[in-house]
């Protein structure tokens, strides 16, 4: 599998030591040929694809910081994000209409700002849909982030349905529901973080 996607086992284990690939993804099992290491296929391929797409622009330490939970989570101000052209003034106004005015910006807030920029400003989702989505994400962010989850917004007969999934669990919904957005939490945060480098 690793040869197919163009990396060596040595590289994979270096990324593990840097905490870019999660330790718990290396599952050791006894087999008839001895002990072998297995991986959760979809998680590992998606993470490797993400690393390969950004490693020429972002240092391995900075990539590791995207995935490692830290008590001293780096925070930003909205004005700094505008200055860096990460968000526009309208995104700031929307954000401040929902959050307290001087709220510091950590990973969860970066995610929500990215969703505002991509989906509200381009009129893909409504402000009310965003508020529902924000409520689910805010209440469950750590669990969804830790397990590489995704957030979905579906509509059926104009009624929105928000679904959060952890750990690439397959989502089965009514065939009459239309998927409006699908947000990969880590990928979204990584993309917006790259703009701050």
Weakest mean pLDDT among 43-52, 63-72, 86-95: 63-72
pTM, two decimals, is 0.66
Weakest mean pLDDT among 36-40, 55-59, 169-173: 55-59
Distance of alpha carbon 62 from alpha carbon 137, whole angstroms: 24
Does position 31 have pLDDT exceeding 90, yes or no? no
User: Are 27 and 42 contacting, i.e. CB atoms less than 8 angstroms apart?
Assistant: no
* b/e 63-77 (16+ beta carbons within 10 angstroms → b): bbbbbeeeeeeeebe
Q: So what's the pLDDT on residue 119?
A: 96
Distance of alpha carbon 132 from alpha carbon 32, whole angstroms: 51
Residues 6+ apart with CB under 8 A from 84: 195, 196
User: Are 19 and 10 contacting, i.e. CB atoms less than 8 angstroms apart?
Assistant: no
Q: Give residue-wise pLDDT tens across range 135-181.
A: 999 999 888 887 778 999 999 999 999 998 876 667 788 999 999 99
User: Are 15 and 38 contacting, i.e. CB atoms less than 8 angstroms apart?
Assistant: no
Best-predicted range by mean pLDDT among 41-50, 63-72, 106-115?
106-115
User: Are 58 and 194 contacting, i.e. CB atoms less than 8 angstroms apart?
Assistant: yes
Q: So what's the pLDDT on residue 1?
A: 52
Structure tokens at 94: 């929307």
Q: So what's the pLDDT on residue 177?
A: 94
């Amino acid at each position: 599998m690793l040869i197919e996607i163009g990396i060596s086992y040595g590289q994979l284990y270096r990324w593990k030591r840097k905490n870019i690939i999660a330790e718990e993804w290396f599952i050791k099992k006894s087999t008839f040929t001895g002990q072998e290491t297995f991986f959760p296929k979809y998680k590992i391929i998606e993470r490797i694809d993400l690393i390969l797409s950004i490693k020429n622009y972002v240092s391995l330490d900075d990539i590791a910081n995207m995935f490692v939970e830290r008590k001293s989570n780096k925070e930003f101000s909205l004005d700094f994000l505008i200055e860096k052209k990460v968000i526009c003034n309208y995104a700031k106004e929307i954000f401040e209409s929902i959050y307290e005015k001087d709220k510091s910006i950590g990973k969860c807030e970066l995610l929500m700002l990215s969703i505002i920029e991509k989906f509200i400003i381009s009129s893909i989702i409504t402000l009310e849909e965003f508020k529902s989505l924000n409520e689910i994400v805010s209440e469950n962010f750590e669990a969804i982030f830790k397990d590489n989850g995704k957030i979905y917004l579906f509509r059926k007969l104009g009624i929105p349905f928000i679904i959060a999934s952890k750990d690439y669990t397959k989502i089965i919904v009514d065939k009459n529901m239309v998927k409006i957005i699908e947000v990969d939490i880590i990928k979204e945060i990584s993309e917006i973080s790259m703009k701050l480098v």
